[in-house]
């Protein structure tokens, strides 16, 4: 009889909307029961003081990240590189507050939640637009890429008019040139960076970013909408070491040199493509980020993380613009590299030509 009753109840479970309503009703009853249990508990305000303090500290770290000093192991830059991920601490704190039955901790968790939403809430919305007259892409192809030809074909399939590649090796350059020749009539390789374009290039030159070898370049692209100065850069890598912290001194020095070169650029429409080994939040890149806009922040959807390709945790591959209007931005599927390619569609200011 018990089994028969069970079958009868299952068969008459009602329609989908009815089941959802029943589930919502059960959740509401549980919350009411939880609230009733807490209502008579006078200790809910005294418990969880430590959790509340941790929530306040988390809010301060996120809200005042620019004040964290870099003097010790570049701690400030390290925090800013992975700043969005601090938001994962918020649901953990909420869960612990519920377990501790602490109203004080629950209210305190609102502080970091508000700060995180203020910093990154805008990136949760889709700002992708339509239109534009130039599609650009950038990809750190990885010097150890086992399939450079396949990587080149994947990037060309994106439909980009202009493609920048970083971490090119002397041995792999002919492979990339051969694979991209049918799509891009014009190209230049300067040191370990290269630029492929459907439109004529002029004013090509390496950019000195204080390394002793070439990892940045500049070229003017004659697009149908007007001339655009395109910079390609691969800033030095950073390392996290136990004894030294976040070692980024050479990266920071190169970022300052790149910022100076872009500031002196006479062409109004400027696009920067490359692996900057840093995020837009990293104050060490201020020489560049202070004068340019990120296409991901202005016209992307989501965080747009690009590295590492297997589990992207940070957007260190950037497309930035000045005098150019970003219309849309996105990441491309993984290739044989440890970075994801990123692309953007922009509108060139024709009055500046």
**Does residue 204 fall inside a structural domain?**
yes
Same domain, 138 and 115: no
Q: Which residue has the tokens 């809430």?
A: 121
Query: Which residue in 209, 335, 327, 333 sits closest to 271, CA to CA?
Result: 327
- 118 & 141 share domain: no
Q: Which of 138, 198, 197 is nearest to 168 (CA)?
A: 138
Same domain for 144 and 78?
Answer: no
Contacts with 256 (C-beta within 8 Å, 6 or more apart), sequence order: 287
The length of the chain is 353
**In this structure, are 246 and 305 located in the same domain?**
yes
Separation between Cα atoms, residue 189 and residue 181, nearest integer Å: 13
- 114 within domain boundaries: yes
**pLDDT tens per residue across all 353 residues of the chain:** 444 444 444 445 555 666 666 767 776 666 566 566 666 667 788 899 999 999 999 999 999 999 998 877 788 888 999 999 999 999 999 999 999 889 999 999 999 999 999 999 988 889 999 999 999 999 999 999 999 999 999 999 999 999 999 999 999 999 999 999 999 999 999 999 999 999 999 999 999 999 999 999 999 999 999 999 999 999 998 866 544 445 678 999 999 999 999 999 999 999 999 999 999 999 999 999 999 999 999 999 899 999 999 999 999 999 999 999 999 999 999 999 999 999 999 999 887 65
Asked if 278 and 284 touch (Cβ cutoff 8 Å), the reply is yes
Are residues 47 and 80 part of one domain?
yes
Q: pTM of this prediction?
A: 0.84
The answer as to whether 17 is a domain residue is: no
Q: Which of 101, 124, 147 is the last residue of a domain?
A: 124
145 and 114 in a single domain? The answer is: no
pLDDT digits (tens, 9 = 90+) for 239-274: 665 444 456 789 999 999 999 999 999 999 999 999
Of 210, 166, 156, nearest to 191 by C-alpha is 166
Residue 31 lies in a domain: no
| 346 neighbors 160 (Cβ within 8 angstroms) | no
User: Alpha-carbon distance 293 to 326, whole Å?
Assistant: 9
Q: Are residues 206 and 294 in the same domain?
A: yes
Residues facing residue 186 across a β-bridge: 197
- The residues, any chain, with a CB within 8 Å of residue 99's CB and separated by 6 or more, are none
Look at residue 289 and tell me if it is in a domain: yes
283 and 189 share one domain: yes
H or E element at residue 62: helix 49-63
Which residues are CB-contacts of 306 (< 8 A; sequence separation ≥ 6)? 312, 314, 315, 316, 317, 331, 339, 340, 341, 342
Closest CA to 269 of 228, 232, 302: 228
CATH number at residue 256: 3.60.10.10
- The answer to the question of residue 227 being in a domain is yes
Residue tagged 């300067």 (tokens) = 190
Last residue of a domain, one of 124, 146, 174: 124
Kindly state whether residue 221 falls inside one of the protein's structural domains: yes
Angle formed by the axes of helices 103-120 and 89-99, to 10°?
Answer: 170
Domain count across the chain: 2
Q: Is the peptide bond before 308 cis (omega within 30 degrees of 0)?
A: yes
% helix / strand / coil in the chain, to the nearest 5?
40, 25, 35
Do 267 and 118 reside in the same domain of the chain? no
Asked which of 74, 100, 124 is the last residue of a domain, the reply is 124
User: Is there a contact between 132 and 339 (Cβ–Cβ < 8 Å)?
Assistant: no
Residue 72: inside a domain: yes
Same-domain check for residues 119 and 188: no
Which domain range does residue 168 map to? 134-352
Same domain as 181, residue 70: no
80 HSE (CA, 13 A, CB side)? 23
C-alpha separations of 2 from 10, 44, 195, 254 in Å: 12, 42, 74, 75
Q: What is the pLDDT at residue 197? A: 98
Same domain, 102 and 222: no
């Amino acid at each position: 009889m018990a089994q028969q009753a069970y079958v009868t109840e299952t068969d008459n479970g009602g329609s989908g909307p009815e089941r959802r309503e029943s589930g919502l009703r059960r959740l509401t009853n549980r919350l009411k029961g939880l609230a009733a249990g807490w209502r008579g508990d006078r200790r809910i305000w005294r418990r969880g003081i430590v959790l509340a303090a941790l929530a306040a500290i988390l809010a301060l770290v996120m809200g005042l990240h620019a004040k964290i000093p870099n003097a010790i192991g570049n701690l400030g830059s390290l925090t800013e590189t992975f700043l969005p991920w601090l938001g994962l601490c918020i649901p953990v704190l909420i869960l612990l507050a519920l377990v501790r039955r602490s109203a004080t901790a629950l209210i305190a968790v609102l502080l970091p939640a508000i700060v995180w939403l203020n910093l990154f809430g805008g990136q949760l919305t889709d700002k992708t637009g339509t239109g534009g007259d130039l599609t650009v892409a950038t990809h750190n192809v990885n010097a150890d890429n086992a399939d450079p030809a396949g990587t080149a074909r994947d990037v060309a399939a994106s439909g980009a008019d202009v493609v920048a590649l970083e971490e090119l090796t002397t041995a792999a350059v002919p492979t990339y040139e051969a694979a991209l020749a049918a799509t891009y009539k014009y190209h230049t390789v300067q040191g370990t960076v290269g630029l492929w374009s459907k439109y004529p290039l002029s004013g090509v030159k390496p950019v000195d970013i204080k390394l002793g070898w070439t990892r940045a370049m500049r070229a003017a692209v004659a697009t149908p909408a007007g001339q655009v100065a395109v910079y390609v850069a691969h800033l030095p890598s950073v390392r996290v070491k136990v004894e030294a912290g976040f070692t980024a001194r050479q990266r920071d020095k190169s970022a300052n040199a790149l910022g100076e070169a872009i500031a002196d650029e006479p062409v109004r429409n400027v696009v920067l493509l490359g692996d900057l080994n840093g995020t837009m939040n990293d104050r060490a890149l201020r020489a560049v980020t202070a004068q340019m806009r990120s296409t991901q922040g202005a016209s992307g959807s989501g965080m747009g993380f690009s590295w590492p390709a297997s589990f992207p945790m940070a957007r260190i591959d950037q497309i930035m613009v000045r005098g150019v209007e970003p219309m849309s931005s996105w990441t491309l599927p993984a290739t044989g590299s440890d970075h994801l390619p990123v692309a953007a569609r922009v509108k060139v200011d024709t009055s500046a030509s």
